[in-house]
């Protein structure tokens, strides 16, 4: 756990937040600065900072992130019309929290990226 990591503090209960889904590998919360009508964060329980630090031991966790993202999109009612999955890595990509996480965006037609 990263001692100053907001996601680790949410996971431990030190910072209150509504956890929408929780399993052995990850948990889901709403983004506090949403960029779409539905903007969820799927966060691994294990503190991993960057994609570049992932190893073979993380394969199951990464698979769970994507399965959980789809389930969260289904629960939010956006899986039929489509949703975007985004991983921001590093400051130039807009990574605001140094804990790997997956953004689930949807609820309206999304514009072009980049």
Q: How far is CA 54 from the centre of its chain?
A: 16
User: Of 21, 47, 99, 101, which residue is the catalytic one?
Assistant: 101
Note whether 2 and 43 are within 8 A (CB). Answer: no
Q: Let me know if 101 is a catalytic residue.
A: yes
> Cα dist. 98→15, 35, 70 in Å?
17, 19, 23
3-class DSSP state of 94: coil
Q: Which positions are annotated as active-site residues? A: 101
């Amino acid at each position: 756990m990263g001692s100053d990591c907001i996601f680790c503090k949410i996971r431990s209960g030190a910072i209150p937040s509504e956890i929408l889904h929780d399993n052995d590998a990850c948990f889901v919360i709403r983004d506090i600065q949403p960029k779409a009508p539905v903007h969820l964060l799927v966060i691994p329980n294990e503190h991993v900072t960057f994609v570049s630090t992932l190893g073979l031991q993380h394969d199951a966790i990464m698979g769970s992130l994507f399965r959980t993202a789809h389930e969260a999109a289904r629960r939010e009612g956006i899986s039929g019309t489509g949703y975007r999955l985004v991983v921001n890595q590093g400051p130039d990509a807009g990574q605001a929290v140094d804990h790997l996480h997956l953004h689930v965006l949807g609820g309206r037609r999304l514009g072009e990226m980049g």
